[in-house]
Amino acid sequence: MRILITGANGLLGSKLAATALSRGFEVFSGYILDSPMVGKPIPMDITDEASVRRAFKQSRPDAVFHCAAMTDVDKCEEDQEAAIKVNSEGTRTISRQAALSSSYIAYISTDYVFDGAKGNYIESDPTNPVNAYGRSKLLGEEVVRSSGADFLIARSSVIYGAQPAMGKVNFALWLLESLRARKPVTLLTDQCVSPTLNTSLAGMLLESFEKHLTGTYHMAGATRVSRYEFGSALAGTFGLDQSLIRAATALDFQGRWKAARPPDSSLDVSKATSILQTKPLALNDALKELREEIDG
C-alpha cells in the first residue's frame, strides 16, 4: 500500500513514516524545507494547489495522512490569517485532491476544538474553540467532512516523543532537558489534557487505515492529567528530582500568552479503545515506552 504523509518532518509525521516503513508500506514523505530522512521525499506545499497535485500524481497514494499544520497556539493567535491559510485552506486543498484521487484521508485534529469547560470529551460533544488555533483546526475538520473523500478525523492532545522534530523539542523532551540540568520548571495544576505518545498515535492511525475506519475518533493518551501531574509522572519514570517542578495556575500565566487555553480539553478515548487492537496508552505505560525509546 502507498501512503503520502504531509508534514513528514514533524513530530508525528516522522514517527508515522518510520512505523509505516517497518510494516511494509511504501511511504512518500511530503516536506517544504528539509528533506525527510525516512520515506521517499516529495516537495510539497499544502497551501499551493499545483504543488499538491504534483505530489499526488507522483505518489498515487492509497491514503494520505495529513499531519502538516500550524500548531504554535500563540503564533496562530497573532497571525490568524496564516493559521486559516495553513490549517483550513491547506486542508481543503489536500482533502479535495484526496477525493479526486479516491484516496483515504486521515486528518490529525486537536483537543483544542473544545472550550475545556467540562473535559473528558466524547466525539459527539459540541465543539467551541476558545482560540484561533482551535478554530482553524475545526474549520479543517469541516472541509474534510465535506470533501467527498473517505475520511478519518483523529483528534489528539499534547503529542510528545523521544526525538526532536524540525529542530524543536516537544513538551516531554523540554521537561527532561530542564530536569536533567536541574532547572526548575513551572507547570499548571489547572490545565488538564490527554498527553499522547507519537509512537502510540502512529500505530492507531495505521491500524485505522488498515481497518478503513471512517468518521471522528479521539486518539490520545488514555489518562487525563494536569500539566503538573504529567511532569511529576515523567520525573518519576526517569528518576529525576520532582521537587524542581513548581505548581502554578493559569492566572499566574496571564499576560504571557497571546491565546486563551481551554482549562480541561482531555479526551475520552473509549471509542478508539473499543475498536482498535492498538489501544490508547495509559500515561505510565506510555512514559515507560518513551524511556525505552530514549535509552535505546
Matching residue, cell 513530530: 11
- Given 31, 104, 107, 133, the catalytic residue: 133
Question: Residue 169: helix, strand or coil by DSSP?
Answer: coil
- How many CA atoms lie less than 13 Å away from 73 in the CB half-sphere? 16
Distance CA 20, CA 168 (A): 23
Active site (annotated) includes residue 121: no
Cβ–Cβ under 8 Å, residues 42 and 31: yes
Distance CA 97, CA 81 (A): 23
Q: What percent helix, strand, coil does the chain show, rounded to 5?
A: 45, 20, 35
Distance CA 3, CA 188 (A): 38
Amino acid identity at 109: S
Active-site residue numbers? 133
